[in-house]
Structure 1
Amino acid sequence: MITNTINELFNEAKHDGSKIIKGIAKSILRPIKPSDFKDAYLSISREQGEDLVQLIRKKNLKNIVEFGTSFGISTLFLAQGVRETKGKIVTTELIESKATKAIEHFKKAGVNDLIEVRVGDATDTLKEFSEPIDLLLLDGWKDLYLPIFRMLEGNFHAKTLIYVDNADMRESKDFLATIAQNEKYQLESQYQGKVVLISVL
């Protein structure tokens, strides 16, 4: 069921291009906002998703936190992995309509029991998070990468991995430059710099 659901969502995401252009067009008169992309999937690629599944299996990752659910494609890949490691996912989504649809997709895929969805600003919904994190997936609003990283840093351990999507964007590069200054972390570029995997040493 999970593979079929992912395939269906990727098929729907084929129309993302025009939705993204419409969202960007709104920024001509004002700063761009997350709500400008409330209808866009903004998803990771299928290859990224499959690599994440393999990473979770290989490293036996159980406790996963995701910043940026959108309609749930990336979360479904994470669920494929934790279903085997007997783990769980806490994922966040700012836009309520997206979160509602994502939950429908999780139920359809039969993995809703593995996923907790927190709706709202992640700097609020994850503020009291106190469990160890094996994998943190950053794939939301880029200027929040550093605040969320800092907020959750106390939950990292020696084997924690941080997966940074859209690492080639300006705000992401600023975030990564800051993290690279700390010798506690090791950064590895993937997908021609579009993704960076951060390891806690």
Structure 2
Amino acid sequence: MMNTEEQKVETILNELYLDSKYDFIKMVKGAAKSIFSPMQPLDFKDAYLSISKVQGVDLVQLIKETNSKNIVEFGTSFGISTLFLSQGILETGGNIITTELIESKAIKAIENFKKAGVSSLIDVRIGDAMETLKNHDEPIDLLLLDGWKDLYLPLFQMLEPNFHAKTVIYVDNADMADSRKFLKTVERNNTYKLRSKFGNKVVLISLNN
């Protein structure tokens, strides 16, 4: 059963999912531009690009099961996935660092975190994740990769020194081309083991202890 704080987050999440009901149309418009030029993050500045509710609930459970406290997220968007992360750390007593390239999205996400009463738990960093996270030197319990896919590998490699025996890397949109390239590279390293979920849409990476 959810406590009062988790229920408050749940209320904001429900509102955001309602707001995102036209998200598919926005995504199609963004994707249509790729016929004439490669897609860019700004093509999706108005699209939620959120994880599903089922994924979100599963993510909360993962945090609780692994007692994750130190969480880093790549790809805040409007903050839906971050709010699910916050539901998890409300129980584990953790904190979240999340980074978003598009300032307008980050500002909206910050507003959503304030409404949900969890802004004190979340450090929002605006800009290129390769810059906003480059000096990160604290252990990472959970890394959520849910941003621009061609950055998955360089970001993973940059943050790798912060991984430990129980670190979990949650890879969303694992079935996309750039994500598959990233996962193939990781798979060649015997240090890691991979496990697919949700019909290969998600892959969990953990250390092969």
Q: Identify the TM-score tier after normalising by the shorter chain.
A: over 0.9
Deviation at 1:30, TM superposition (A): 1.3
Q: Which residue of 2 aligns with 1:103?
A: 110
Query: Is structure 2 residue 40 aligned with structure 1 residue 33?
Result: yes
CA distance in 1, matches of 2:24, 2:195: 29
Q: Which amino acid aligns with 2:112?
A: H
CA distance in 2, matches of 1:13, 1:168: 22
The total of aligned residue pairs comes to 201
Q: Deviations over 1:153-190 (max 9, x none)?
A: 00000000000000000000000000000111000010
Q: Which of structure 1's runs of 4+ aligned residues deviate more than 4 A?
A: none
Q: Deviations over 1:42-80 (max 9, x none)?
A: 000000000111111111000000000000000000000
| Gap regions ≥5 residues in structure 1 | none
Q: Which residue of 2 aligns with 1:61?
A: 68
CA distance in 1, matches of 2:172, 2:66: 19
Q: Which residue of 2 aligns with 1:169?
A: 176
**How does the TM-score come out when normalised to structure 1?**
0.99
Q: Which residue of 2 aligns with 1:120?
A: 127
Q: Which amino acid aligns with 2:166?
A: K
Summarize the alignment of residues 67-78 of structure 1 with structure 2, pairs less than 5 Å apart: 67-78=74-85
Query: Is structure 2 residue 172 aligned with structure 1 residue 198?
Result: no
| Gap regions ≥5 residues in structure 2 | 1-7
Q: Deviations over 1:16-37 (max 9, x none)?
A: 1110011111122211100000
CA distance in 2, matches of 1:164, 1:14: 24
**How does the TM-score come out when normalised to structure 2?**
0.95
Identical counterparts, % of pairs: 67
CA distance in 2, matches of 1:70, 1:53: 18
Query: Is structure 2 residue 107 aligned with structure 1 residue 85?
Result: no
CA distance in 2, matches of 1:64, 1:162: 10
Q: Out of 112, 135, 138, which is 2:142 matched to?
A: 135
CA distance in 2, matches of 1:32, 1:77: 28
Q: Which residue of 1 aligns with 2:54?
A: 47
CA distance in 2, matches of 1:161, 1:107: 27
CA distance in 1, matches of 2:187, 2:20: 33
CA RMSD of aligned residues (A): 0.5
CA distance in 1, matches of 2:10, 2:29: 30
CA distance in 2, matches of 1:200, 1:63: 17
